[in-house]
Structure 1
Amino acid sequence: MAQIKWPPVIARAAAIVESYSIPVTLRQIFYRLLMEGLIPNSDYAYKKLSAETAERRRAGKFPPLFDRGRGILQPSSWASPKEGVQALAAQYRVDRTAGQPVALYLGVEKNALAGLIQAWFDALGVPVLPLGGYSSESLDRQVKARVQAEGRAAVLVLSGDFDASGIDISRSFVEMTGCWKKVHRIGLDEELIDRYGLPVLRGKATDSRAPGFIAAHPEIHARCGFGADERGRPYPAQVELDAVDPEELRSLYQRVIDRYWDVDAYRAALADEEEHRAVLRRLGDTL
């Protein structure tokens, strides 16, 4: 690729961010630019994009990006009991999933995307499960205990990378928890990759799961023709979940949620919530 002309690339990046009505991450913008052929798939390009956008964001010349990993951590406090009750009334919530026929869980392989998914579906109150790679025993135990305590059939909507480890991470979590009535793995498959022309990268030949992954997906590997390393180990294909258009990823989750969501039960939960808030507001007025 020719030398990158960063001013027009940054201008295009800003336009991409502003085209969305939902929060997006730097990595998602990186893949959009990669798909448009404006930058190469390299650590240098990603770090340079991060530095260039950060400089402009500090100057107020680039729109905000989603970054849940950083922030100010401090316990909440109020100047008076009245302010405390007023604050509680404003943020008070009931369990908005109460009365739903199934317990929905939204899983995602990457921690960075978990915050986005939570932001997208915060109004529903549906729990989000960030796996952060292979799940841990503690998370598996928490999930199983919660599903058992709820006493409802549990449905998992799960997304992850299309690569040897990503597919296996989903399999492992489902197997280790073993508490799901239904599992919907969304986000990336060969049909979606082809439909949107997502960038197919060369994965790690050293991944012990690569041979099985290649055998399970022969067509995409035949098209890519990544070859093999010096020891004859074939390179697997890899497509990052971040490459999926954020609006499309949100839509993929929403379509599955809509199959199970009871709108009347949700409205009843919101009505209860408003009644409780009214009680708190009246209490605050007496202080």
Structure 2
Amino acid sequence: MADQDPVMRVVDRVFRKHGVRPRRRRRAKTQRIVDVALEVLGEYRPMTVRQVYYQLVARHIIENKRSQYQAVSIALRDARKWGEIPWEWIEDRLRRPRRVSMWHDLAEFATTAVNSYRRDVWETQEHYVECWLEKDALSGLFEDVLRPYGVTLNVGRGYDGWSSIRNAAMRYLAWERGNDDDEEEPYPEEVLPKTEDSTEVLNEKLRGFLAVADARKAFSANPLKHRPRPVTVLYFGDFDPSGRDMVRSLEKRINFFGTYPKIRISALLRSDIDEYDLPPDFAKKTDSRAASFIAEHGDISVELDALPVTVLLKRLEDSIRDIMDLTALDEVLQAEKEDKSRITLEWRAKS
């Protein structure tokens, strides 16, 4: 490790005086981990330890091994404890306190309310888009990109539960069908019985028919003011057996409720692994989906976190901008800005 800076020399001397062992001199490899982690966090933050780890793997600083993950975790812990990396640059998304929102006075609350005001950007869009993300660790970075565009983010953390799927299907039904046409829409061919169907197939179709009927009933009871328009789901997940199967499962279960959005895999792609020289891992042979995945893609597996953050977020934003009407979006955002100014002036005049 390089010579300590003057401040850390004082810290070590004071700690030693009080009988506390000062920090040990780092090995060159550990110092390299800290130095590159600082570079990564200097570009995008906050990140989780796991995200930093995969960025180090992608830059070939360390190998993709469990022991190396532990080494990174310890190095980042010590670097924060010694003030080399700010604590707020590393986040733990799984352990967050549920704080109660409170304000000093009405003026502070009014400021919060004004800042939270958003016009519905989708009222003037011809195409509705949402983003589905497999990894919760990346959700903070995704939210920062999606927020200005008003795009909904769904974080799956694996296979979504049926309640989440149904809620999504209800949103997509609203956009696909709108609520301006009172004509009864025919039921999907997939849920209609045929004379040649077996008992097992008929039972499955019955369940599907009831699901579609239930979704339409709930939608009709509380219709949203939407015009009919196409729906696209942008999916970001790992390149591995489960990651690819989640897309199949998502599409099948959403279709179960009679809505058929276009689901586009935005990342991670097989071409990304080659183009960005991403460090591969072997597909888990214990995964029941491994055989078919390996047959199609080969014995390779890479997590979404390994893709350079700049590349990942640019792809996310470019995908959104390719679908949305940017002129209409700018008009809504300008009207929103004017609304906020008017609300602020009216509040100040009354207070």
The two structures have a TM-score, normalised by structure 1, of 0.85
Pick from 327, 330, 333 the counterpart of residue 264 of structure 1. Answer: 327
Residue in 1 that maps onto 2:5: none
Residue in 2 that maps onto 1:27: 50
1:180 and 1:60, CA in 2 relative to 1: closer, same or farther beyond 3 A? farther
Alignment partner of 1:46 is 2:123: no
Alignment partner of 1:8 is 2:71: no
Q: Percent identity?
A: 30
- Shift in Å, 1:42: 2.2
Aligned-partner residue type, residue 165 of structure 1: S
Query: Does the 8 A contact of 1:86 with 1:284 survive in 2?
Result: no
Query: Does the 8 A contact of 1:100 with 1:265 survive in 2?
Result: yes
Residue in 2 that maps onto 1:155: 232
Please list every run of 5 or more consecutive structure 1 residues that lacks an aligned counterpart in the other structure: 222-235
1:41 and 1:176, CA in 2 relative to 1: closer, same or farther beyond 3 A? same
- Shift in Å, 1:58: 4.1
1:96 and 1:60, CA in 2 relative to 1: closer, same or farther beyond 3 A? farther
Larger radius of gyration: 2
Residue in 2 that maps onto 1:174: 251
Residue in 1 that maps onto 2:216: none
Residue in 1 that maps onto 2:290: 210
Pick from 108, 122, 138 the counterpart of residue 163 of structure 2. Answer: 138
1:22 and 1:5, CA in 2 relative to 1: closer, same or farther beyond 3 A? closer
Distance 2:54 2:108 in 1: 45
Aligned residues: 267
Distance 2:169 2:312 in 1: 26
Q: Which deviates more, 47-56 or 162-171?
A: 47-56
1:160 and 1:276, CA in 2 relative to 1: closer, same or farther beyond 3 A? same
The two structures have a TM-score, normalised by structure 2, of 0.70
Residue in 1 that maps onto 2:306: 243
- Shift in Å, 1:14: 1.0
- Shift in Å, 1:189: 2.2
Residue in 2 that maps onto 1:104: 129
Aligned-partner residue type, residue 265 of structure 1: A
Residue in 2 that maps onto 1:199: 279
Query: Does the 8 A contact of 1:98 with 1:269 survive in 2?
Result: no
Distance 1:240 1:164 in 2: 11
Aligned-partner residue type, residue 284 of structure 2: K
1:22-54 CA-to-partner distances (Å, cap 9, x unmatched) read 654432321232234332222232123123213
- Shift in Å, 1:206: 1.4
Query: Does the 8 A contact of 1:4 with 1:39 survive in 2?
Result: no
Aligned-partner residue type, residue 64 of structure 2: N
1:30 and 1:266, CA in 2 relative to 1: closer, same or farther beyond 3 A? same
Alignment partner of 1:117 is 2:138: no
Q: Which deviates more, 80-89 or 21-30?
A: 21-30
Please list every run of 5 or more consecutive structure 2 residues that lacks an aligned counterpart in the other structure: 1-26, 179-228
Query: Does the 8 A contact of 1:24 with 1:246 survive in 2?
Result: no
1:183-238 CA-to-partner distances (Å, cap 9, x unmatched) read 21021222111111111101211111111111112xxx3xxxxxxxxxxxxxx421
Over the aligned positions, Cα root-mean-square deviation in angstroms equals: 2.1
1:119 and 1:180, CA in 2 relative to 1: closer, same or farther beyond 3 A? farther
